[in-house]
Chain A
Amino acid sequence: MGREGIIAKDSPGERVLLLGNEAVARGAIEAGVQVAASYAGTPASEILATIASVADRFGIHAEWSTNEMVAFETAAGAAIAGLRAMASMKHVGVNWCMDPLMAVNQSGVIGGLVVITADDPGAYSSQNEQDNRRYSKMTELLMLEPSDAAEAKETVIKAFAISERLELPVLVRLVNRICHSRADITLGPFKWGRRKGEFKRDRRWVMIASSSPERHRWLHQQQGEIQNIAEQSALNRLEGKGSELGVIAAGITYTYVKDALRCLGLTEKVSVLKIGTYPLPRNVVLQLLDRVNTILVFEEVEPVVEEQVKEIAFDGGKTCTIKGKLTGDVQRERDLNVDAVADSIAHVMRVKYRALTPAKEAAVEESLKITPPRRLLMCPGCPHTPTFFVINQAGRKAAKGKIIYSGDIGCYSLGFYTFEPPRQDTQFCMGASIGVGCGLAHSGVEDIVVATIGDSTFIHAGIPPLINAVYNNASMVVVIFDNETTAMTGFQHHPGTGVTATGNETRKLNIEDIVKACGVEYVKVIDPYNIKESIKTVTEAMRYPYISVIISRRLCMLEWLRKARKEGIKIEPYQVDPEKCTGCKLCINEFGCSAITFNKKGNVAVIDNVLCNGCGVCIQVCPVKAIHKGSAQVGC
Chain B
Amino acid sequence: MVAKKVKEFNVLIAGVGGQGNLLSSEIIATAAVIEGYRVRVADVFGAAQRGGSVLSHIRIGEEVFSSIIRQGSADVLLGFEPVECLRASRLLSTSCTAIANMRPIYPRDVSIGELVYPSISEIAALLQKMVKKLIYRDFIEIAEKAGSSRTLNVVMVGSLAGLELLPIRKETFQEGVAESVPSGTEEMNIKAFELGYEEIKRAIR
Chain A residues within 8 Å of B, Cβ to Cβ: 1, 15-17, 42, 124-125, 148-149, 177, 180-184, 252, 254-256, 258-260, 262-263, 337-339, 342, 355-357, 360, 363-364, 366-368, 370-377, 379, 414, 487-488, 558, 585, 588, 594, 596-600, 608
Contact = CB atoms under 8 A, between A and B. Distances in A.
- Interchain residue pairs A-B with the least CB separation, the first 8: A597-B111, A355-B71, A255-B65, A182-B41, A181-B67, A338-B70, A367-B86, A258-B65
A1 B179 contact: yes
Given A183-B39, A363-B130, A558-B49, 9 more contacts: A259-B70, A357-B94, A364-B130, A370-B83, A371-B87, A372-B107, A375-B108, A598-B111, A598-B112
A597 B39 CA distance: 41
Interface stretch (B25-33, B156-164, B166-174, B190-198): B25-33
Contacts of B41: 17, 181-183
Given A363-B130, A376-B52, A594-B108, A182 B70 contact: no
Nearest to A260: B70
Contacts of B145: none
A154 B104 CA distance: 43
A259 B66 contact: yes
16 contacts: A1-B179, A17-B29, A17-B33, A17-B41, A177-B68, A181-B41, A182-B41, A184-B38, A337-B70, A360-B72, A367-B86, A371-B87, A585-B112, A597-B106, A597-B112, A598-B113
Interface of B: 16, 25-26, 29-30, 32-33, 36-44, 46-53, 63-68, 70-73, 83, 86-87, 89-90, 94, 106-113, 115-118, 122, 126-127, 129-130, 179
A353 to B, nearest CB: 11
B167 to A, nearest CB: 16
B63 A364 contact: no
Contacts of B179: 1
Contacts of A16: 33
B122 A370 contact: yes
Contact of B83 (A254, A372, A597): A372
A363 B130 CA distance: 7
A379 B90 contact: no
B44 to A, nearest CB: 8
Contact of A355 (B29, B72, B127): B72
Contacts of A375: 107-109
Given A360-B72, A372-B107, A376-B48, A367 B130 contact: yes
Contact of A184 (B33, B48, B94): B33
A42 B44 CA distance: 13
Contacts of A600: 113
B49 A379 contact: yes
A42 B108 CA distance: 25
Contacts of B53: 374
Nearest to B129: A363
B46 A124 contact: yes
A363 B126 contact: yes
Given A356-B90, A588-B112, A182 B29 contact: yes
Contacts of A597: 106, 111-113
A370 B123 CA distance: 9
Residue with the highest number of chain B CB atoms closer than 10 Å, among A254, A363, A487, A588? A363
Contacts of B64: 259
A372 B39 contact: no
B38 A376 contact: no
Contacts of B39: 17, 182-184
A372 B129 contact: no
Contact of B115 (A263, A355, A372): A372
B66 A337 contact: yes
B50 A379 contact: yes
B111 A608 contact: yes
Contacts of A558: 49
Contacts of A608: 111
B98 to A, nearest CB: 12
Nearest to A178: B67
B20 to A, nearest CB: 14
A597 B115 CA distance: 12
Contacts of B25: 182
B46 A376 contact: yes
Given A182-B39, A597-B112, A373 B26 contact: no
B66 A372 contact: no
Contacts of A124: 46-47
Contacts of B108: 374-375, 377, 594
Contact of B109 (A338, A356, A372): A372
Contacts of B48: 374, 376-377
Contacts of A371: 83, 86-87, 118
Nearest to A342: B70
Contact of A360 (B30, B32, B70, B94): B94
Contacts of B106: 597
Contacts of A585: 112
Nearest to A20: B67
A371 B115 CA distance: 10
B88 to A, nearest CB: 9
A125 B72 CA distance: 27
A366 B126 contact: yes
Contacts of A17: 26, 29-30, 33, 39, 41
A381 B164 CA distance: 43
A16 B50 CA distance: 28
